[in-house]
Amino acid sequence: MFVKWILKYYGLNDTENLTITSMVEDLNNTYAGKVLVSTDAIHEELESHFLRQKEQRKEKIYETLRFQEMLREIDNTKISYIMTKTILDMYLSELHGRIATIYGTSLSTLKNDTLLDFYYNNISTIDDIYECHKELLELLY
């Protein structure tokens, strides 16, 4: 679904789906690797975010939760686990650069807040909504 929104944002045809999917998969692999390198900015941002969140939560489960345990769960299929606002902005910027290199664009780089706005403003059918959002809507209504 993410690729569908990227295609729509950049005004690319569905024929470019494979190329954009490949870019996204490559970035997912890259970020899944970077988050494991303690000197990488991705790792440092995620660890800092993790510690801030852990400090703010007082539930018992967070007392024993360790950053390294959480990292063991990360792979290229669970990349959403690491997407803090800062990391998402880095990811979207890198994706934008790759797309601009191949297709050229005058559009600005998506950011975490503009991505959400774009998503909400461009939902026209139920098929445009992520499954998890459909589930939330079903719970609410």
Place of tokens 């880095």: 90
Q: Average pLDDT in the 114-119 region? A: 80
**Domain extent at residue 120:** 2-140
Tokens 């489960």 belong to which residue?
A: 61
pTM of the predicted model, to two decimals? 0.83
Number of domains within the chain: 1
Task: List pLDDT tens digits, range 49-108.
Answer: 999 988 888 777 777 889 999 899 999 999 989 999 999 999 999 999 999 999 999 999
**Interval 5-33: pLDDT, tens:** 899 899 999 999 999 999 999 999 999 99
Q: Are 70 and 50 in contact (CB under 8 A)?
A: yes
How many other C-beta atoms lie within 10 A of the C-beta of residue 129? 17
